Structure 1
Amino acid sequence: MKWTQVIDPLNNILLSVLIAAMPIIFIFWALIIRKMKGYLASLIAILIASLIAIIIYGMPIKLALLSIGHGALYGLFPICWLVIMSVFLFNLTVKSGQFEIIKHFMASITSDRRLQALLIAFSFGSFLEGTAGFGAPVAITAAMLVGLGFNPLYASGICLIANTAPVAFGSIGIPITVASQVSGIPELPISQMVGRTLPILSVILPFYLVSIIAGFRKAREIWPAVLVSGISFALLQWFSSNYLGPSLPDVIAGLGSIICLMVFLRFWKPRTVWRFSNEPAPTFNPDITYTGGQMLRAWSPFIVLTIMVIAWGMKPIKEVLNTIGLFQFEVPGLHNAILDKEGVLIPKLFKVNYLSAAGTAILIANLIVIPLIGLTYREGARIFIATLNQLKFPILTIAAVLGFAYIVNDSGITLTLAAVLANTGFLFPFFAPVLGWLGVFITGSDTSANALFSKLQYATAQSIGVDPVITVAANVSGGVVGKMISPQSIAVAAAAGNLVGQESQLFRFTVKHSFIMLLVICFITLIQAYAVKGIVPVYEMLNSTKTIATPDISGGYMYLLGLAFLLITLTSTISLKANKKTHTPDLAN
């Protein structure tokens, strides 16, 4: 039995949109007004969406249930797999006592919370987004800031907001790759167009973040450092996205801004050190010193993590891992059971890339660093079990959120909302980023939002005489500011920041900033469409008949051998330096 999606089930688009918007309006109401726990809000949203899908859209009950199950399964793997491994890595660092050394190092650079937020939430988080993506940057940076003594709400909230600048180029550029595949526009012009929009946000974002933490006046006190952080990031993001493509902007801009800010802080310090009002004064003791070996050992979890996620993002390695460690299956009863509005069957496959998944890269990093940081594997196992216990409610929340995302997509609810925005005519470029924002809010992924709406963005722009690369890029750019309020992202940040059950506070913290930034991107897109057309890159469409080459995996094995050699050399160096007899304070407690 086949079922066909409908966009206007009530034969009145306004009424259909009002009904379609109910589950999303409920999530806003539940989290902002009722302050409901994340998993409870998500489960009720699933119920509302299911009733609308079945009663209004005519979706068979069996398909609705299977769609929810498919989404929940995707929430467990790869999303929860990655979150568990990220938090496990941080917990290992804390329990071994090595995080105390990292805290000392950060304090030696600056004890100022404003500058620590720029270094970790903005710059280091951007670097992690470029390598791992899919929730890892927020999970790791929020946990680091909480470990440094940040208020958990501010730590999680600013990491979500900081994550806007790099999301478009996350995971070695996957969101733009998907937008290219769906729209038929080559990757480079999309990358260039996004790279002519987001750097404007990137310049503003550091000052914006510090203002959220400490207020406008306190942000002005460190304006030189804010400018160094924002301008260095924006320039590197613009250059790499325009001339190197979508794969490296986050890695280059993140690393570059870290280096620029750290060098600048060697020569400039704020007049006063700012900290949260309810925390004790800085306790940095300059008499305590650590050797290079001790510092290397303390940072080894994040060094190994960085090497692993970069390696896992390389195409030759990914192809090898997928050749030997991937299987996929058709979702029983759901695969090819739904036809879209054009009568095309929608395939429903579940891919288990258990070797090439980013979570697996972090798992291997964890196994490597356990002995490096002075733990036994027995102790590591105990920490892993404690991590699972710590994350039991976030896991439920993430599974529920993805179940909700899949039911609203498969039923056609999302397409109803998109259809209204696509009918705004001359003003469509203004609303084009809203589609990306909506897609990321629902799915939690800029990649998924681009898969959903890039073709619609392309076709609508053509129909009103606007260059389609503007609206396709707007889908990517608009999506980045939806990430901070996506229930999936909120659940990840709450787990990392020890805010389980307080997801509504986090949502309320970020939601107004999401709308403000979305409005900025909407106006930028409108100006690009009609006022500064010279900003649009010249390009040719992809050849739709291109052949798919069989990957040559021999190069991938060479990359893996090189990775193994690098890791053996690194771990041997760290072990030798760590075993030198030096006086080390007892930090395990």
Structure 2
Amino acid sequence: MYQQIPDPLWGSLAWSALVAAVPLLTLFVLLGVFRMRAWLASLIGLALSIVVAVAAYGMPAGLALNSALEGAAFGLFPALWIVVNAIWIYQMTRASGHFDVLRRAFSRISDDQRIQGIIIAFSFGALLEALAGFGAPVAICSVMLVAVGLKPIKAATVALIANTAPVAYGAVALPVITLERVTGLPLDDLSAMTGRQVPVLALIVPLVLVVVLDGKRGLREAWPAALVCGATFAVAQYLMANFGAVQLTDIVAALASAAAVLLLVRLRGTRRTEPGPEPGGEPESAPVSKAGAGTGHGTSPVPANGGGATATLAATEQVVDAPAERVRSFAPYATIIALFSVVAIPAVADLLDTTTLSFPWPGLNVVDAAGEPLSLAEYKFDWLASSGTVLFVAGLLTIPVLRVPLRDAVRAYGETVGQLRTAGITVMAVLGLAYVMNMSGQTATLGLLLAGAGGAFAFLSPLLGWFGTAVTGSDTSANSLFGALQVSAAHGAGLDPILTASANTSGGVLGKMISPQNLAIGASAVGLAGREGVLFRKVLAASALFVPLMCILVYLQSTPVLSWMVP
């Protein structure tokens, strides 16, 4: 039995936190500064977390290694199980030729690639997040953005940045529901308070996306669509979070935002634009204009592993696809939405949950500083209820729909597994690092240090959620880690616990884009495994913009300036 000690170094929380931060800081520096391959950087970070756990926290080496093993198992299932099946579906659309049909269909919705990016990455991605979460939106939207002509790095960057505002109510509101369970606070109040924080992000994210897609020109020319998309999503999210069924919050918001953009496009039309220079001169990103511009310079790239020639975007307008083929190209994604909608029905979800196997991880006997067993020591094998299984079933249904020969489908699955081999190491190493930090008490030490800030804690509380999601890749996990701590710190600082607990969720959504786990998913989805460091630098600026904004908002909500927003 190992009991966590929050301040193992000379009884000092500050010194202990400084040492506890070393593994994670090292990982981000190796990725962002030294551009080391993610799988190697993750293994180094994992090794450092074990050293800190044993040398500084006094955790037995066997328990530290066992913690890493459980984290790696979680990385294998469900994380990689989700990604493998999502990318397998994409591989079959490419093999059947419907990849190009899909691209042409989106180009006919709007010939402006910035509009396409908003609809796919933000609205469609939000719908996938609402139904599935856990990496599926980044994996699927990345390859769909490649389908409409974005180059791989830019596609993954846009998908990661877009996967923010909907995360708080993702996986049928699982993060907020988990927060209610670990804090004991009313779900309605937590949902309402979170719904008065994250919609602010929804207003801004689409505007940031058009800047990423096309720089200042993108903002100047595409701001109406971005603003309509963000405002519609924000209003719908606020209304559902405060007055509707919390489980349906992002589903309604995603559909409403997509409908609003499509209506705007129908009313205003789109304007052809020549490709502009890439912001920052990044050679990895495609020039952004419309899909199908008459310039003849654009191409429709595929992931590095994709093989085959690329078609010019100019040729897109010259090809007329049969209506049946256009329907068939959307069928895999319509199937995904339909299946996730079915499994989200409470009666179906309860039935699937009966097949879930939960058991204490063998040999992992750990309690927190108060002597309570850690919930992380229990491994959940939801083999049937997992989002990855739903995607696998969708893939099986895709085979006959796209008329893919069974042999080709099996070959595509094997190629997908091979493509993800280094990403698999990354994901399992990162989750191993997270579990070692959580089990040894390193994460708790960092949380307690922030919680000791007194009245200033209102400003810092979103950072706890941001940090938790950055480590684990999941807002749900961040709420499990720090939800109760947020309430305890709020009582000590004289703050409203509803405010700080909700801030954990709202801050957590901003950690997802820089989580090594999600960086690996995004890079692997577009065939750029090993280029996670490039992605990290791309999304870091967006995270640096959003995090202070959320901290300021929560702080103002703790003062008379915006305290009227607290339910």
TM-score (ref. length: structure 1)? 0.88
Q: Are the equivalent residues in 2 in contact too, given 1:107–1:284 (CA < 8 A)? A: no
Q: Give runs of aligned pairs for residues 271-310 of structure 1, distance below 5 A.
A: 271-273=271-273, 275=275, 276-277=286-287, 279-280=298-299, 282-283=313-314, 286=317, 288-310=319-341
Letter in 2 for 1:341: A
Q: Are the equivalent residues in 1 in contact too, given 2:111–2:270 (CA < 8 A)? A: no
Distance across 1 between alignment mates of 2:337 and 2:141: 13
Q: Give runs of aligned pairs for residues 109-508 of structure 1, distance below 5 A.
A: 109-273=109-273, 275=275, 276-277=286-287, 279-280=298-299, 282-283=313-314, 286=317, 288-323=319-354, 325-334=355-364, 337-347=365-375, 348-508=377-537
**Residue 199 (structure 1) shift:** 1.1
Runs of 4+ more than 4 Å apart: 284-287
Tell me which moved more, 522-531 or 108-117.
Answer: 108-117
Letter in 2 for 1:352: F
**Residue 293 (structure 1) shift:** 2.4
Letter in 2 for 1:92: M
Deviation per CA, 1:263-288, whole angstroms, max 9, x where unpaired? 21112234333544373574255554
Tell me which moved more, 266-275 or 491-500.
Answer: 266-275
Query: Do the aligned partners of residues 285 and 34 (structure 1) sit closer, same or farther apart at CA in structure 2, a change above 3 Å counting?
Result: closer
Q: Are the equivalent residues in 2 in contact too, given 1:138–1:159 (CA < 8 A)? A: yes
Letter in 2 for 1:449: A
Matching residue of 2:2: 3
**Residue 38 (structure 1) shift:** 0.7
Q: Secondary structure at the match of 2:509?
A: helix
Deviation per CA, 1:33-57, whole angstroms, max 9, x where unpaired? 1101111111000111111100110
Q: Are the equivalent residues in 1 in contact too, given 2:466–2:511 (CA < 8 A)? A: yes
Query: Do the aligned partners of residues 285 and 419 (structure 1) sit closer, same or farther apart at CA in structure 2, a change above 3 Å counting?
Result: closer
Q: Are the equivalent residues in 1 in contact too, given 2:169–2:176 (CA < 8 A)? A: yes
Distance across 2 between alignment mates of 1:357 and 1:274: 44
Q: Are the equivalent residues in 1 in contact too, given 2:102–2:147 (CA < 8 A)? A: no
Q: Secondary structure at the match of 2:359?
A: strand
Letter in 2 for 1:75: G
Q: Are the equivalent residues in 1 in contact too, given 2:96–2:403 (CA < 8 A)? A: yes
Q: Secondary structure at the match of 1:134?
A: coil
Matching residue of 1:87: 87
Distance across 1 between alignment mates of 2:154 and 2:169: 25
Distance across 1 between alignment mates of 2:346 and 2:252: 18
Does 2:138 match 1:108? no
Query: Do the aligned partners of residues 285 and 62 (structure 1) sit closer, same or farther apart at CA in structure 2, a change above 3 Å counting?
Result: closer
Q: Secondary structure at the match of 2:118?
A: helix
Letter in 1 for 2:107: A
Deviation per CA, 1:304-363, whole angstroms, max 9, x where unpaired? 11111121222211221232x3223321110xx212111123352222111111111111
Distance across 2 between alignment mates of 1:361 and 1:271: 39
Q: Secondary structure at the match of 1:57?
A: coil
Letter in 2 for 1:311: V
Deviation per CA, 1:541-579, whole angstroms, max 9, x where unpaired? xxxxxxxxxxxxxxxxxxxxxxxxxxxxxxxxxxxxxxx
Distance across 1 between alignment mates of 2:318 and 2:160: 36
Distance across 2 between alignment mates of 1:233 and 1:119: 12
Distance across 2 between alignment mates of 1:226 and 1:344: 47
Deviation per CA, 1:59-83, whole angstroms, max 9, x where unpaired? 0011001000000001001111011
Distance across 2 between alignment mates of 1:225 and 1:59: 54
Query: Do the aligned partners of residues 37 and 285 (structure 1) sit closer, same or farther apart at CA in structure 2, a change above 3 Å counting?
Result: closer
Deviation per CA, 1:409-456, whole angstroms, max 9, x where unpaired? 000001111111001011100000000001001111000000011111
Distance across 2 between alignment mates of 1:395 and 1:28: 18
Letter in 2 for 1:533: S
Q: Secondary structure at the match of 1:350?
A: strand
Does 2:552 match 1:533? no
Tell me which moved more, 269-278 or 393-402.
Answer: 269-278
Distance across 1 between alignment mates of 2:144 and 2:367: 46
Q: Which runs of 5+ in 2 are unaligned?
A: 276-285, 288-296, 300-311
Q: Are the equivalent residues in 1 in contact too, given 2:465–2:482 (CA < 8 A)? A: yes
Distance across 2 between alignment mates of 1:286 and 1:214: 22
Distance across 2 between alignment mates of 1:101 and 1:146: 13
Matching residue of 1:38: 38
TM-score (ref. length: structure 2)? 0.92
Q: Secondary structure at the match of 2:558?
A: helix
Q: Secondary structure at the match of 2:58?
A: coil
Distance across 1 between alignment mates of 2:343 and 2:428: 25
Q: Are the equivalent residues in 2 in contact too, given 1:114–1:274 (CA < 8 A)? A: no
Tell me which moved more, 123-132 or 283-292.
Answer: 283-292
**Residue 236 (structure 1) shift:** 1.0
Matching residue of 2:309: none
Tell me which moved more, 281-290 or 204-213.
Answer: 281-290
Letter in 2 for 1:481: L
Query: Do the aligned partners of residues 78 and 87 (structure 1) sit closer, same or farther apart at CA in structure 2, a change above 3 Å counting?
Result: same
Distance across 2 between alignment mates of 1:22 and 1:512: 22
Distance across 1 between alignment mates of 2:424 and 2:86: 13
Q: Are the equivalent residues in 2 in contact too, given 1:128–1:306 (CA < 8 A)? A: yes
Distance across 2 between alignment mates of 1:473 and 1:184: 13
Matching residue of 1:580: none
Matching residue of 2:553: 524
Distance across 1 between alignment mates of 2:513 and 2:496: 29
Q: Are the equivalent residues in 2 in contact too, given 1:222–1:270 (CA < 8 A)? A: no
Deviation per CA, 1:208-246, whole angstroms, max 9, x where unpaired? 111122112331112221222111111111111111142
Q: Are the equivalent residues in 2 in contact too, given 1:188–1:245 (CA < 8 A)? A: no
Query: Do the aligned partners of residues 376 and 412 (structure 1) sit closer, same or farther apart at CA in structure 2, a change above 3 Å counting?
Result: same
Query: Do the aligned partners of residues 414 and 204 (structure 1) sit closer, same or farther apart at CA in structure 2, a change above 3 Å counting?
Result: same
Letter in 2 for 1:298: S
Q: Secondary structure at the match of 2:465?
A: helix
Q: Are the equivalent residues in 2 in contact too, given 1:421–1:428 (CA < 8 A)? A: yes
Q: Are the equivalent residues in 1 in contact too, given 2:107–2:148 (CA < 8 A)? A: no
Letter in 1 for 2:391: I
Q: Are the equivalent residues in 2 in contact too, given 1:192–1:245 (CA < 8 A)? A: no
Distance across 1 between alignment mates of 2:183 and 2:379: 23
Please tell me the root mean square deviation across aligned C-alpha atoms, in Å.
1.4
Matching residue of 1:575: none
Distance across 1 between alignment mates of 2:467 and 2:165: 17
Letter in 1 for 2:62: K
Matching residue of 1:574: none
**Residue 289 (structure 1) shift:** 3.1
Letter in 2 for 1:35: R
Distance across 2 between alignment mates of 1:356 and 1:502: 32
Distance across 1 between alignment mates of 2:317 and 2:51: 63
Q: Secondary structure at the match of 1:215?
A: helix
Q: Are the equivalent residues in 2 in contact too, given 1:96–1:375 (CA < 8 A)? A: yes
Distance across 1 between alignment mates of 2:97 and 2:114: 25
